[in-house]
């Protein structure tokens, strides 16, 4: 699907309702009448996670990769208690309104998937289809405890290789097949080089403040929000080793979403798949083909 050139992207910005300058990567592309693909990253992640996906989809699809507030090129929030899903939804809605986007395909990993479900609940007509990557309405307690254990820890490394080896040591059970080059590539997505020459995490450490309060990680009852995606093309992606999305929850999601939903389980991967695994590609192609066949609403 599309060519595999490394598409140039433009750094663009918008402003939140509370005055935070927010950033997204605009990869351009897109056939006439097709909704853009809007990519929403995980809790501690950023728009760089979606570069490989954008490279695959452009020029057939217009790809936008968002940095949530406090991540990547987006500014930190003045109020750390605004680092909650409801605020992220408002931020993304403002971007869509600014761009005049009436319909879009949402790709959400982890927290980005929660934001996707809430966006559908806020405006079902706007979500043409969705990829929910290793996230569901029920989140496994063990996985939450693991994330709470590391989010907001202000670690740094003297070199990129030190950062890569630290990731391998901490998350080797999530990606057991990774070699050092894979870990180095992940480090360059997750970290940045600061003015002192240190390799530091590319997010505001204060995102952990509301997340560490039990119940704040998801907001409202997500099973109810899931119904707003029922009948839409939806691809559920689950890592076989995931400690966030259980197999039982994924199967229950399939039942509630209906016949247009598909589940892909990625072997030997935990939380979360990168979406460039070969097991994911056919399902993603089917999802986008189904959306491309749908008539453009008047």
What tens digit of pLDDT does each residue of 77-125 get?
Answer: 999 999 999 999 999 999 999 999 999 999 999 999 999 999 999 998 9
Please determine, for residue 246, whether its predicted confidence score (pLDDT) is greater than 50.
Answer: yes
Please determine, for residue 218, whether its predicted confidence score (pLDDT) is greater than 80.
Answer: no
pLDDT tens digits, 34-77? 999 999 999 999 999 999 999 999 999 999 999 999 999 999 99
Tell me the C-alpha distance between 12 and 296, whole Å. 27
**In the chain, what percentage of residues exceed pLDDT 90?**
89
Q: What is the mean pLDDT of residues 3-9?
A: 59
Q: Are 256 and 230 in contact (CB under 8 A)?
A: yes
Give the pair of three-digit tokens for residue 141. 């307690």
Query: Which residues, 6 or more positions from 240, have their beta carbon under 8 angstroms from its beta carbon?
Result: 265, 266, 267, 268, 269
Q: Does the predicted model carry a pTM greater than 0.75?
A: yes
Please determine, for residue 182, whether its predicted confidence score (pLDDT) is greater than 80.
Answer: yes
How much is the pLDDT for 215? Answer: 55
How much is the pLDDT for 213? Answer: 67
What residue has token string 């409202």?
A: 220
Confidence band (pLDDT; 50, 70, 90) for 3? very low
Give the pair of three-digit tokens for residue 235. 């691809």
Q: What is the mean pLDDT of residues 224-237?
A: 96
How much is the pLDDT for 211? Answer: 73
Residue-range domains of the chain with CATH: 10-141+218-293 (3.40.50.1820)
191-193: strand order across its sheet? 156-157, 199-201, 191-193
What residue has token string 């999601």?
A: 253
Q: What is the mean pLDDT of residues 190-197?
A: 97
How much is the pLDDT for 31? Answer: 86
Q: Are 83 and 24 in contact (CB under 8 A)?
A: no
């Amino acid at each position: 699907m599309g060519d595999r050139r490394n598409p140039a992207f433009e750094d663009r910005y918008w402003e939140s309702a509370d005055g935070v300058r927010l950033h997204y990567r605009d990869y351009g592309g897109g056939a006439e009448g097709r909704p853009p693909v809007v990519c929403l990253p995980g809790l501690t992640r950023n728009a760089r996670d979606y570069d490989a996906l954008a490279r695959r989809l452009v020029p057939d699809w217009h790809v936008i990769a968002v940095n949530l507030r406090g991540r990547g090129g987006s500014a930190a929030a003045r109020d750390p208690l605004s680092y909650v899903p409801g605020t992220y939804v408002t931020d993304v809605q403002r971007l869509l309104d600014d761009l005049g986007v009436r319909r879009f395909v949402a790709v959400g990993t982890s927290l980005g998937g929660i934001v996707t479900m809430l966006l559908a609940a806020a405006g079902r007509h706007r979500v043409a289809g969705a990829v929910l990557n290793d996230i569901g309405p029920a989140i496994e307690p063990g996985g939450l405890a693991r994330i709470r254990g590391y989010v907001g820890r202000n670690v740094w490394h003297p070199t990129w290789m030190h950062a890569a080896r630290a990731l391998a040591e901490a998350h080797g059970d999530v990606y057991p097949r990774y070699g050092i080059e894979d870990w180095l590539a992940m480090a360059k997505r997750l970290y940045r080089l600061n003015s002192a020459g240190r390799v530091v995490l590319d997010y505001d450490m204060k995102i952990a403040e509301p997340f560490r309060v039990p119940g704040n990680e998801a907001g409202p009852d997500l099973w109810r929000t899931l119904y707003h995606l029922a009948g839409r093309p939806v691809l559920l992606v689950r890592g076989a080793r995931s400690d966030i999305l259980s197999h039982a929850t994924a199967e229950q999601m399939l039942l509630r979403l209906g016949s247009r939903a598909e589940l892909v389980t990625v072997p030997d991967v935990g939380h979360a798949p990168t979406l460039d695994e070969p097991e994911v590609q056919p399902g993603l192609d089917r999802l986008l083909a189904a959306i491309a066949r749908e008539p453009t609403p008047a």
